[in-house]
Structure 1
Amino acid sequence: IQQISLSKKKSQNKNRIGICLIVGTMIGSGIFISPKAVLEGTGAVGPCLCVWAACGVLATMGALCYAELGTMIMKSGGEYPYLMEGFGPLLAYLYSWSTIIVLKPSSFAIIALSCAEYASTPFYPGCTPPQVVTKCLAAACILIITVINCLSVKLAYRVQNFFTAAKLLIIFIIVISGIVLLAQGNTQNLKDPFAGATTSFGAIGLAFYNGLWAYDGCHEVLLCCFLFFYNRNLPLAIIIGIPLVTVCYIFVNIAYFSVMTPTELLQSPAVAVTFGDRVLYPLSWIVPLFVVFSTFGAANGSCFTAGRLTHVAGREGHMVRIMSYISVKRYTPSPALMFNGIVSIIYIMPADINTLINYFSFAQWAFYGLTCLALIVMRFTRKELQRPVKVPIVIPVLVVIVSCYLVLAPIIDKPEWEYLYCTMFIVGGLLLYVPFIYYKFNWTRCIMRPLTMHLQLLLEVVPPEKTK
C-alpha cells in the first residue's frame, strides 16, 4: 500500500511539473501583441474569442501528435528526426535550414519588436511611437540578449527565471482585473458579440496565424517527453496544460473588451498599456513595465534555444563549421548566437510585427503539417516502433488538413510578398544541400578555412571536442 501511495504521489508530482512547464513555456509575448490582429481578421468580439478557443484546440491536437512522435523517436533536434524518419534527409535538412535562417531569427525579431513597442508606448501617449524608435529599441534588445547569452549560460538562466515570474504576474493582474470589471457590470462590449463580424477565407487564416503565434510554445512539450516517458503522463499534462492556457488567453481578451470597444482596441498602439491606463491608474506604469519584462524574457528564451539549434546544425554539417565552435573562456556557442542575432536584426529593418508573424507562421505551419503527415506515414511504414503514447489517427489527419488551410488560405485570398520571400528562403536551402551535403563537395580548403581561422582568433572559439 505504501509503495502504491508513493507511486501515485510521484505521478501527481510529474503531472504538476508537466503542466507548469507547458504553461510557462507557452505564455510569452503573443498574448500582448496578437489580440489586435485576431480582432482585425474576425471583425467582432464573438468570432475573435472563437478563434482564440479554436487555436487552443488545434494546439492541443498538435501537441498530442508531438507526444506520440517524441515518445516513439527519442532523439533531440525538434522536428528534424521525425522528418528524417518519415521522409528522408532532404525534408529534414530543409527544416534545419529553415529553422536557422527563417523561423528562429524571425521569432526573435517579433518578440524584440513587441518588447520595444511596449517600452516606447508610454513615452508617446495617445499616438503610435515612430517606427525608427521602435526598431532601434528592438535592435538594442537583441544585442543585449545576445551579449548576455554569449557571456554566461548561468546568467542567461537567471534572466530567464526572473522574467518568467514577471510574465506570470502581469497575466494574473490582467485576468483578475477583468474578472472584477465583469462583476461590476462592464459587459456592454460583450452583449452582442457577433454584430459587425466581417470575415473572409484568407482573413480567418491570418487571424489564426496571430492567435497560434501566442500558442507557439506548444511544440516545446517535447522537452517533457523524457520526463513522462515511463508513466505516460505526458498526454494528461497536455490535455490539462494547454486548455488552461486557452482559458487564460480568453479571459485576458475578455478583460480587454471589458474596458475597450473593438474600435478602441484596434486603434490602441499597445493594448495592455491602454488597459492599464484605464483600470490601474495611478499604478498603470506596472503594466508596460511587466510586459517589457515578459517579452524580454521570451526573447531571451528564443535566443538561448536558437543558438543551440544553430550550434547542432554546424556540428552535423548542415551549416558552416564555425557555427559549432564554443568559446574557450565561457563555454557558450557564441558564433551561433551572434549569427542568430545578426539575422534577427536584418529581419527587423524592413518589416513590422504583423508581416513577420505572417512570414514566420507560413513556414512554421508548413513544417508542422509535414511533421504530422510523417506521423501518419510512419503508422504504415514503421509499425515495428514502440508507441507508449498513441493518438487516434483522426487527430493528425485533422492537423494536416488545418495546416494545409493555414498555408494556402492567406496566399489565395491576399497574396503578399512575405510568402514568396519565405518560400525562396526555404527552397534556397537546396542550393547548399545538393553540392555540399548530397555530393559532399569539399569547399573548406579554398573558401572557409582561412575565414574560420580568422574568426577563431577574433572570437576565441574552438571546436567542441577541444573543450573536453
Structure 2
Amino acid sequence: MENAAFDSCDEIRKDELSAEVKPNLEVTNGLELKRKVGLFSGVALIVGSGIFISPGGVLQRSGSVGLSLIMWAACGLLAILGSLSYAELGTLIPKSGGEYSYLIDGLSPLHPFWGPLPAFLYSWISVLLLRPTTFAVGCLSCASYTIYPILASMGLCLGTETEDLLIKVTAVLYIGLITALNCYSVDWTIRVQNFFTVAKLVAIAVLIGCGIYQLSTGETQYLAQGFEGSTTEFGTIATAFYGGLWAYDGWYQDRGCVMNNLNFITEEIKNPYVNLPRAIMIGIPLVTVCYLAVNVAYLTVLSPQALINSDAVAVDVGNYLLGPLAFTIPLAVAMSTFGGVLTGAFSTGRLCFATAREGHMIDVLSYIHVDSRIPSPALIFTAIIALILVISKNVSSLIDFFTFAVWIFYVLTMIVLLILRKTRPDARRPYKVPLFVPILTIIIGSYLIVAPIVTEPAVEYLYVLGVLFVGFLVYIPFVYYKCSLGFMGPITKFIQLTLSVGPTLKPMSD
C-alpha cells in the first residue's frame, strides 16, 4: 500500500517537513538503517529462554524420558538445518524482514498477482497477530515472574483478580519500557540484550552444574526410565515437535525465532556476509546443547510427572537444590524473559518496517528516525497492538494453532531458496548451504503442517484460514490494485513531524 496509503506522500516527503526535520535528511532518496549488531550481539539475539519455563509439553507428548530428549535434539537439528538455509538467503538477499523479504524477492518475479501474495499473507498474520501477541504474552510472563516473588517475599496474598490486574499493569509498563528502549538507541538495546544473555547463560550454567552434581550422587532413577511408554502415534510425535520448536522458535516465551531472528535485522548487522552465518553456526548448536543439558538436569531432580505438572520447572529445581539462593532462579527467569521480549520487539519492528517499505503496510511504518535511523513508527505500532492484547483476555489461546500456519511460510521460504538457485544461479552467495539441507527441511516441515491437521483436526484451524482469507481480500484492492486511502496524508505528516522520521532508501538484493 505504498501508493495506496495516501496520494500526497511525495509532496509531504519533499515539501512539508518541519524545519527541525528537513536539515537532517542527508540522503535525498531516503534514509538507511545503521549497522550496529556485531557477532556477539548476533549470537545474543539467537539464544532463547523457553527452557526456563516448562519443557513438560514435550515430555508429555513423547510419553517417555528417552524420546523427549531425542525430540529436543531433533528440534535443535531442525533449527540448525533451517538456520543454515536462512544464512544463505540472508547473504543473498541482505534485507531486513526475514521470510517476508525472501518471499517477496523470490516469488514476485514469477507472477504479478500470485507472486507477492505469500509475502503479504505472511506479513498480515505475523505483523498484525502473531508477533504482537507473543510480545504481549512475553510481557505478561515477565510481569508474573516479577510480581509473584515480590508478593511472596512480603507474605502478601492480594487475591486472584487483584494480582491479575497488577500483572497486567506491570506488563503494560514492560511494553512501554521495551518500546522506549528500542526507539531510543540500537546501541543501548544491544547492550541490555548482551547483559541479559550473559545472565541467562550463567543461570543455565548453574542449572547444568546442579545436574552434574545430582548425577555424581547417583540421582539417575528418572533418567533410567529410558523409552518406557514412548508414543508411536504419527500426529502426537508432530505435536511433540511443536512443543520443542516453541522453545527454539520462541512462539510463546522467547518472542523471537531462534531460526531466523537475525534475518529480520540483516541491514543492521556489521559485515553480514561473515557475521550472519557465524552467529547462526555458533548460536544454534549452543542453544541445542544447553537445552539438552538443562533437560537432563531437570530430570535428576523432578520425576517426569512432576516436570509435566510444573508451570516453572527451573524455579522448582532451584527451590529444591539452592536453598537460600533459590530466589536467583525466578530472578534469572524474569531477566531472561525480559531479554527475550526485547529481542522479539527488536526483530518484529524490523519485519513491520520491511513490509511497509514494500507497500504491504501503510507507508509511514517504513519511515525511520532521521538521526538514530531506528524504525520507530513500526516499533510503536507493534507496541500499540500488544497493549490492546494485554488488556484483552486469552491473548495466547490461538498461538498454538497459528504456529502451523507459520510453518507453511517456513516451507515456502525453503522452496524460494531452491527457486533462487535456478533463477539467480550466478548471484553472489558468500555462504551456500548444501542442497539436501533445504530439501530435508521442506520434507520435515510439510510433515509438521499436515500431521496435526489430519490426526487432531480442530475448529481453530479454520480461524487461521479465515484470517488468511481476510488478508487475501485486503490484498486485492490495497496492494495489487493500489487503491488509495487519502485520509492517511495528514496522519502521515503528523507522525513525520512528531517522531522526526523520514522515508527509507530501499536496498538492492545483490
Please give the TM-score of this superposition, normalised by the length of structure 1: 0.83
In the alignment, what sits opposite 2:469? 427
Deviations along 1:306-325, one digit per CA (max 9) or x if unpaired, are: 22332333333221133234
* Equivalent residue number for residue 82 of structure 1: 102
Q: Deviations over 1:37-59 (max 9, x none)?
A: 21222122111111100001111
Distance in 1 between the 2:324 and 2:278 partners? 42
Matched with 1:132 is 164
3-state DSSP class of the match of 2:407? helix
**Could you tell me whether the CA contact under 8 Å between 1:22 and 1:221 is conserved in 2?**
yes
Task: Indicate how the Cα distance of structure 1 residues 86 and 327 shifts in structure 2: closer, same or farther if over 3 A, else same.
Answer: closer
1:463 paired to 2:507? no
Q: Tell me: CA distance 1:114–1:417, structure 2 relative to 1, closer, same or farther (3 Å).
A: farther
**Match of 1:449?**
489
User: In the aligned structure 1, how far is the partner of 2:369 from the partner of 2:429?
Assistant: 40
Give the fraction of aligned pairs with identical amino acids, expressed as a percent.
47
Alignment pair present for 1:363 and 2:405: yes
Distance in 2 (alpha carbons) for counterparts of 1:365 and 1:162: 31
Equivalent residue in structure 2 for 1:276, among 318, 322, 340: 318
**C-alpha deviation, 1:237, in angstroms:** 6.3
Q: Distance in 2 between matches of 1:142 and 1:65?
A: 32
Q: Alpha carbons of 1:267 and 1:325: their partners in 2 closer, same or farther (altered >3 Å)?
A: same
**Cα pair distance change 1:121/1:54, threshold 3 Å:** farther
Alpha-carbon separation, structure 1, partners of 2:272 and 2:369: 34
Asked if 1:28 is matched to 2:48, the reply is yes
User: Do the aligned residues in 2 keep the contact of 1:209 with 1:357 (CA within 8 Å)?
Assistant: no
Given the alignment of the two structures, is residue 178 of structure 1 paired with residue 214 of structure 2, yes or no?
no
Show the counterpart of 1:440: 482
Matched, 1:201 2:234: yes
Aligned equivalent of 1:321:
363
Determine helix, strand or coil for the equivalent of 1:442: coil
Aligned-residue offset at 1:418: 4.3
Kindly indicate whether the alpha-carbon contact (under 8 Å) linking 1:42 and 1:207 is maintained by their aligned counterparts in 2: yes
Distance in 2, matches of 1:157 and 1:228, equals 16
Per-residue deviation at 1:449? 2.6
Residue type at the aligned position of 1:247: V
In the alignment, what sits opposite 2:394? 351
**1:357 CA displacement:** 4.5
| Match runs of 1:101-120 below 5 Å | 101-120=128-147
Q: Could you tell me which amino acid in structure 2 is paired with residue 75 of structure 1?
A: K
**Are the equivalent residues in 2 in contact too, given 1:313–1:319 (CA < 8 A)?**
yes
RMSD (Å), alpha carbons = 3.2
Q: Distance in 1 between matches of 2:459 and 2:179?
A: 29
> 2:273 matched to 1:229?
yes
- TM-score of the aligned structures, taking structure 2 as reference length: 0.77
259, 272, 277: which one aligns with 1:218: 259
Aligned length: 442
* Separation (CA, whole Å) in 1 of partners of 2:294 and 2:349: 32
The aligned counterpart of 1:145 is: 178
- In structure 1, what residue type is equivalent to 2:127? I
Q: Is the 8 A contact 1:100 1:306 kept in 2?
A: yes
Alpha-carbon displacement from aligned partner over 1:373-416 (angstroms, at most 9, x marks no partner): 11222333433334443333222111111111222222223234
Distance 1:460 1:388, change over 3 A: closer
Q: Deviations over 1:70-97 (max 9, x none)?
A: 3333333312332234322222222333
Higher RCO, 1 vs 2 (CA within 8 Å, ≥6 residues apart): 2
| Partner-residue secondary structure (3-state), 1:76 | coil
- Aligned-pair distance for 1:203? 2.8
Contact 1:182–1:258 under 8 Å retained in 2: yes
Q: CA deviation at 1:191?
A: 0.7
Counterparts of 1:303 and 1:377, CA distance in 2:
31
Aligned to 2:6: none
Unaligned regions of 5+ residues in structure 1, if any? 1-16
What amino acid maps onto 2:326 in structure 1?
S
Cα shift at 1:166: 1.6
CA distance in structure 2 between the partners assigned to 1:318 and 1:436 by the alignment: 8
1: CA distance, partners of 2:49 / 2:300: 21
Query: Is the alpha carbon distance of 1:386 and 1:78 closer, same or farther for their aligned partners in structure 2, counting shifts above 3 Å?
Result: same
Change (3 A) 1:163 1:243: closer
**Cα contact 1:103–1:364 (8 A) shared by 2:** no
**SS of corresponding position for 1:215:** helix
Tell me which of 14, 22, 46 is aligned to 2:66: 46
Distance in 2 between the 1:41 and 1:346 partners? 33
Q: Which amino acid aligns with 1:132?
A: D
